Amino acid sequence: MAEDDLTQGGTIRPITRWGTPVMHQPTEPVTEFDEELHTLVRDMFATMIASDGVGLAATQVGVGLSLFIYACPDADEKLQVGVVCNPTVTLPEGEDRNLESAEEGCLSWPGGYAPLARPDHAVCTGQDPYGNDITVVGTGLLARCLQHETDHLGGTVFGDRLSKRVRRQLDAKVEELAWRYPDDWPVTPKAKYATPDPSPEL
């Protein structure tokens, strides 16, 4: 990622929850790659780090712009960090398409996880925070992250991809653990819990 380190110096913002209109509507394209955008990126990194996430879309801090960030390991466990504006994800087809089912979570529906099959390889194109064209090749968890965050920017949450039965189970778990997550989380940290989280939230 070309940066003046946009991963540092931000302010933590509350994470927007599913059910809020901005989470379920398509976003507007990024057209101004200016300091206002860079402030948003810094704040998103601060928010993602505070919430122990590996990816965060602008809609998850209540902003309807086509932008997401990530700090996520790939299939080789190498941490990849970046920002993608106006992303388009291309997925393999035919014999090249390999679905991997894994537990998936979402910072905007905190505490709940559900198995979801997604392709294990994804190519994301877009612009960096300075307007330069970029391509990100995702494998492993990064492939899932690129798909999950791009979904957000189209108004889709991963719960929309679940069967009714699995979605009910997910919602029940989120409700059960709601006491851990204040309305302004992660500005106010979540309450302590004895059992570690099973997987990263995106």
CATH number at residue 149: 3.90.45.10
Sheet holding 79-90, edge to edge: 55-57, 67-73, 79-90, 121-127, 133-139
pLDDT mean over 108-113: 97
Is residue 15 situated within a structural domain? no
pLDDT digits (tens, 9 = 90+) for 20-63: 999 999 999 999 999 999 999 999 999 999 999 999 999 999 99
| DSSP assignments along the chain, one per residue | ---SSTTSS----PPPPTTSGGGGSPPBPP---SHHHHHHHHHHHHHHHHTTBSEEEGGGGT--BSEEEEEEE-TT--EEEEEEEEEEEE---GGG--EEEEEEE-TTSTT-EEEEEEESEEEEEEE-TTS-EEEEEEEHHHHHHHHHHHHHHTT--GGGGS-HHHHHHHHHHHHHTGGGS-TTTTSSPPPP-SSPPSS-B-
Task: Give residue 189's pLDDT band: very low, low, confident or very high (50, 70, 90).
Answer: very high
Amino acid identity, position 146: L
Tell me what pLDDT residue 16 has. Answer: 98
Is residue 14 situated within a structural domain? no
Provide the Cα torsion 19, 21, 24, 30; round to 10°: -140
Is residue 140 situated within a structural domain? yes
Number of domains in the chain: 1
| Angstrom distance (rounded) from CA 16 to CA 109 | 9
| pLDDT at residue 195 tops 90 | no
Tell me what pLDDT residue 200 has. Answer: 60
Is residue 6 situated within a structural domain? no
Q: Residue 117, Cα to own-chain centre: how many angstroms? A: 17
Is residue 8 situated within a structural domain? no
For the chain, give the percent of residues with pLDDT over 70. 94
Among 30-44, 64-78, 93-107, 181-195, name the one with the lowest average pLDDT.
Answer: 181-195
Range(s) of the domain holding residue 172? 21-180
Tell me what pLDDT residue 1 has. Answer: 44
Would you please indicate which residues are annotated as catalytic (active-site) residues? 149
Is residue 12 situated within a structural domain? no
Amino acid identity, position 59: T
| Angstrom distance (rounded) from CA 101 to CA 79 | 21
Nearest Cα to Cα of residue 69 among 61, 104, 196, 34: 61
Tell me what pLDDT residue 193 has. Answer: 60
Task: Give residue 4's pLDDT band: very low, low, confident or very high (50, 70, 90).
Answer: confident
Tell me what pLDDT residue 109 has. Answer: 98
Is residue 10 situated within a structural domain? no
Is residue 1 situated within a structural domain? no
Tell me what pLDDT residue 192 has. Answer: 84
